[in-house]
Amino acid sequence: MSEEVRVGTRCITFHVTVLEPPIDIAEFRVDVPIYVTTCETIGNYEKGIIPAHVQKDFAKKVDHAVRVFADTLEASFKEGEGNVEKH
């Protein structure tokens, strides 16, 4: 029976950039867990390659993280507009 074992993570960074003039206004990171299947082995060769992969629902998790970030960014802009009007 093979199962997935988490062997590490990778971080993906997204940047939000205003185009005119090009300025980064925000960024967020998504940690990506990396897994291997336990049935993979390298034998007694002391080195080798074992294919690693992300979970099958990874795209959904990234989509959710992007939506939460976009909602938060939009709310902060709206809050900032309100503050400008008060001053």
pLDDT at 1: 60
Q: How far apart are CA 69 and CA 87, in angstroms?
A: 27
pLDDT band, residue 85 (cuts 50/70/90): very low
Joined tokens for residue 82 = 């309100």
- 23-36 confidence digits (pLDDT tens): 887 888 888 888 88
The CA-CA-CA angle for residues 7, 4, 49, to 5°, reads: 55
| pTM for the whole structure | 0.53
Residue 43 has pLDDT above 80, yes or no: no
Q: Considering its fold, how many domains does the chain have in total?
A: 1
pLDDT at 48: 72
**Structural domain boundaries, residue 80:** 4-86
Average pLDDT over residues 58-86: 75
